[in-house]
Amino acid sequence: MTTAAPSRFHALVPCAGTGTRAGTAGPKQYEPVAGRSVVAHTLRALAGVSRLHQVLVVLSPDDTGFEAHVPDFAGAVARCGGDTRAATVRAGLDALERLGAHPTDWVLVHDAARCLVRPAWVDALIDACADDPVGGLLALPVPDTLKRERDGRVAATVDRAHTWQAQTPQMFRLAVLRQALDRAGAQVTDEASAIEAMGLAPRLVRGALENFKLTYPGDFALAERLLKSR
């Protein structure tokens, strides 16, 4: 008798964006924060997750700066990123298969700019979703009152009940995620949205407030203070 090999866990880090809202001189993932680049902090944290079989960083085809900004990275790199996050992740899934990933393996997609992620949070996601039929994502319940805007003024107050703010990693099986992205198209903003469009319900795993994505200029100073306080 033979038994199927257990599913492995792979991290995929889309790193092909330019971060135009960040106000940085170059791609925001290479901005220095607390002594190293943003993405270097991210990859250092992922390296602390022992159950990850490999970490793949997906870059734009013309990226020549990654190795200089992350000189100690021991994982894999694929220069096949696309014009959107979804296209970059989709190309990364094919690259993972070329590196030996199986269709039933789990892929944890994590934003390069969420540089305050901790290994324990990734482990919590794996613990919660490894036996889940769908997979899931780190997220936080929304505590604030939400407003919908029109022309710079409040158009409506949005009911925040049962509302969560999506974070990453987002963890789904490779073949299912590939099918979901192919169906959803290039404009989908996160992996869970593509999975939802297939009629599936990803599991919500409570994350941490610190696990925010560096997006605006003020985020970098906040990340610097938090990283230095650790």
Q: What pLDDT score does 19 carry?
A: 58
What are 14's strand-pairing partners? Answer: 58
Q: What pLDDT score does 34 carry?
A: 95
Q: What pLDDT score does 22 carry?
A: 53
Question: Which range, of 17-21, 183-187, 225-229, averages the lowest pLDDT?
Answer: 17-21
Q: What pLDDT score does 17 carry?
A: 77
Residue 170 has pLDDT above 50, yes or no: yes
Give the start-to-end residue ranges of the domains of the chain.
Answer: 9-229
Q: What pLDDT score does 4 carry?
A: 56
Q: CA dist 22 to 28, 59, 88, Å? A: 7, 18, 20
Alpha helix segments (H runs only) across 48-202: 66-69, 85-98, 119-129, 174-184, 191-197
Mean pLDDT of 81-91: 95
Q: Which residues lie closer than 8 Å to 102 by C-beta, 6 or more apart?
A: 5, 7, 8, 174
More confident residue, 40 or 160: 40
Residue 212 has pLDDT above 60, yes or no: yes
**What integer best gives the mean pLDDT of the chain?**
93
Buried b (16+ CB within 10 A) or exposed e, 164-196: eebbbbbbbbbbbbbebbeebeeebebbbbbbb
Question: Which range, of 23-27, 124-128, 166-170, 224-228, averages the lowest pLDDT?
Answer: 23-27
Alpha carbon 153 to chain centroid, angstroms: 32
Mean pLDDT of 111-131: 98
Q: What pLDDT score does 3 carry?
A: 43
Helix, coil or strand: residue 174? helix
Do the beta carbons of residue 207 and residue 167 sit within 8 Å?
Answer: yes
Buried b (16+ CB within 10 A) or exposed e, 45-77: bbbebeebebbbbbbbeebeebeebbeebebbb
Give the fold, CATH level 3, of 9-229. Answer: Spore Coat Polysaccharide Biosynthesis Protein SpsA; Chain A (3.90.550)
What are 157's strand-pairing partners? Answer: 147
Do the beta carbons of residue 73 and residue 129 sit within 8 Å?
Answer: no
Task: Report strand pairing: 146-150 vs 153-158.
Answer: antiparallel
Do the beta carbons of residue 106 and residue 7 sit within 8 Å?
Answer: yes
Q: What pLDDT score does 25 carry?
A: 58
